[in-house]
Amino acid sequence: MGIVNVTPDSFSDGGRYLDAQAAVAHGLALVEEGADILDVGGESTRPGADPVAPDEQIRRVVPVIEGLVAAGTHAQISIDTTRLAVAAAAAAAGATYVNDVSAFRADPDLAGLVADRRLDCCLAHMRGDPRTMQSEAVYEDVVSEVKAFLEERLRAAVAAGIAEERVMLDPGIGFAKTLEHNLELLRRLDELVALGRPLVVGTSRKSFLGRLTGREADDRLAGTIATNVLALERGAAVFRVHDVRPVADALTVAAATVRGR
C-alpha cells in the first residue's frame, strides 16, 4: 500500500504532493515500484495534527483520485479518511477502499456507505484523535486490548452490512502507543493475525523508529524495512509504506525465505 499524502503537514512528506498533478505522478510512480493499493489522504493523522474540514479534504483528494483513474492505473485506490462525505466523494471519483483510522467511530454512518457501495475497508485501532491520542497510551496488556477492540469493530462492521471478506484490520502502530507498545505489538502480531482477517501494518518512517535509531523521518528506511519483514514473518498481509520499491524487494526476499516461492 503506497502512501499518497495530499497534505501540507504530514510528518514525513507534508507539502510535497499537495499539487494534484504532483500527487498523481507520485502515485503512478509508486505503482511502477510495486504498489497494489494507493492510499490517498487529505488529512494528516500524525500526533498533534489539527482536523481538516470534509470540504477541504474533498478539494484535495478528488482531483488526485480522478487523475489516477484517468491514467488507467491497475492499483486499487483507497481513501484515507474518517468522514462520510469525503469517502462518498472519493468513491464517486473511483476509490474502492476506505482506510478509516477511527474504525467507523468518528462517523458511524460511514459503515453504511461502505456496505452499500460494496467497498473494501481497513479499520484501525486508535484512542482519542490525533490531537489527544498520545496522552491515552495507557494499557495493561496492549496486544490483548488492541485485539479485543479490533474484534469488536469487525463485529460492528459486519452488523452494518459489510461482508467480512471486505474488512482488513490495523493495530494502529504509533496511534496512542509508546515505543514499548509498538514493539510489543510487532513482537506478538501473530495474536492479531489470529482474528482471521488480513492485517495491515503501517510503520513507515514513524517516530518510534527514530527513537530507536536516532534518524530523522526521511532517513528511516532501514527501520521501516526491518519492521515490515518482521511483520511479514508474523503473518501481516498489507504493508503501508512511503518507499515502495525497497520495501517490496525486501518483502519478496523474506517471503521466498519464510513461505517458499
For residue 153, indicate whether it is catalytic. Answer: no
Q: Is 177 a catalytic residue?
A: no
The catalytically annotated residue of 177, 220, 234, 240 is 240
**DSSP assignments along the chain, one per residue:** -EEEE--S--TTTTTTT-SHHHHHHHHHHHHHHT-SEEEEESS--STTPPP--HHHHHHHHHHHHHHHHHTT--SEEEEE-S-HHHHHHHHHHT--EEEETTTTSSSTTHHHHHHHHT-EEEEE--SS-TTTGGGG---SSHHHHHHHHHHHHHHHHHHTT--GGGEEEE--TTSS--HHHHHHHHHTHHHHHTTSSPBEE--TT-HHHHHHH---GGG-HHHHHHHHHHHHHTT--EE-BS-HHHHHHHHHHHHHHHT--
153's CB contacts (< 8 A; 6+ apart) are 103, 104, 105, 123, 169
Catalytic option among 83, 206, 220, 234: 206
Write out the catalytic residue numbers. Answer: 206, 240
